Structure formats: C-alpha cells, structure tokens
Amino acid sequence: MRPYLSIELAGAELWLLAEKAIYYPAYRALLIADAHFGKAAAYRRLGQPVPHGTTDDNLERLDNLLAGYDCEQLIFLGDFLHAPESHAALTLSALRAWRDRHAGLAITLIRGNHDKRAGDPPQDLRINVVPEPLMLGAFALQHEPDPHPTHHVLAGHVHPAYRLQGKGRQSLRLPCFYLLEDVSLLPAFGAFTGGMNIRPAQGGRIYVVGDGAVWEAK
C-alpha cells in the first residue's frame, strides 16, 4: 500500500494520496485531475526547449497507483490531453501501450477546458468521455470548481499549491489538496503543469504533498 491520509468529507471516506490523487474506497475509484498528457510535446511543437519523458514518467506513476490500490475505475477530472498538438505520435503510442496494460479497467474522462480544445482521446484508448458533473456517491465530480446544488464538488482546473514558511526567509512551495465546505480541489497530477498559490479561507483545510507523504498544513 502506498502512502495516503484518510479523511472524512461530505460524510464519506476519501484517501488523499501522496501521488497527487484521491482514492474513493467505497467505489474502488481512483480520481486524477489535470494530467495534461502531451503538454511537453505541444510546447516542443511551438519551438520551446522543454524536457522529454514527461508522459512516460506520469504513466509510470499511474501504473504504481493502480498496482497499489484496488481500483475498479479510473476517473480523470478533466484536462487529459493538453492541446491539439498533444496528439503527437509518440505521446499517443505511450498512452496506447499503457492502456493495453490495463485493458480491463473502466476509465472515464470528465471534459475539461483543455479537452475541449485538444479534442477527445482516440477511440482506441477506450475512455468514456462525459460532461460535468459526474455523480459518484456523495460527490459531484467536475473539472471546474463551481458549486453543485446538492452534492459536494471534487474538482481540478486550479492546480492548487501552498507555500510553507520556515525560519527566516525560508519557504517551500508544494502541491496541495484544498478542502472547503462545498467545493474541494485536487492538485494537478501531471508533473509539468505548474500551480496556483492558495490562500486558505475560513474553514478551509489544506493538505500538502511532498516527500512521499500527505499532511495537513497548519
């Protein structure tokens, strides 16, 4: 079993995972936000010198999660592909090989803003693509962090991060889960995505991710 922190939210148990994902044990569901597969490929098509291997690294992390948790379904909360240029041959080849390794897994993508621009994943990836919200137990799963009239929202899009302050001027900026009364945010799963600094609101809870662990920021 991989590191996680069990919390209660909207009357349900969720596991916040150190790999920047959520496991919903009641539904054996792994929730991933903002993978942005093919982002580096899209930047290279624009002539930007960015790292190679980001898709393989993200897929290896995903493999480890699926091996470590009892997953019946995998749900992407938007932004699976980054841009039209993400349909590059090498990116799609890696995704197809990964899908073949998990042929029996049910996969759903909730369309995010980047998906609408990039287009749906190729049909041979066998990903069920749906609009938001997707209702699952106590939650409305969305890409956009907009309140739902009846259910607590789990969303992506924002790529939340939090800056920890140390002694003197020392600080460390880490991805985080941000839990509020009606809407909660997942960190971006993709390793090449950036983040937006979160300032905690009253009643909000921040759980930072770093060094293979998850802990609440005080």
- Read off the CATH number of the domain in which 119 is found: 3.60.21
Query: Residue 129: its pLDDT value, please?
Result: 97
How big is the chain by its Cα radius of gyration, in Å? 17
Using CA atoms, how far residue 42 sits from 51, 68, 86, 95, 142, in Å, is 12, 31, 5, 15, 25
Query: What string of DSSP letters covers 111-135?
Result: --HHHHHH-PPPGGG--EEEPSPEE
Domain count, the chain: 1
Query: Residue 218: its pLDDT value, please?
Result: 78
Domain that holds residue 154: 4-216
Residue 56 identity (one-letter amino acid): D
DSSP state of 7: E
Pairing of strands 205-210, 213-216: antiparallel
Using CA atoms, how far residue 199 sits from 98, 110, 159, 168, in Å, is 37, 27, 13, 20
Query: Residue 84: its pLDDT value, please?
Result: 66
Residue 79 identity (one-letter amino acid): D
* Confidence at 68, pLDDT banded by 50, 70, 90: very high
Query: Residue 45: its pLDDT value, please?
Result: 55
Whole-prediction pTM: 0.90
85-96 pLDDT tens trace: 767 888 899 999
Cα distance between residue 81 and residue 191, in whole Å: 13
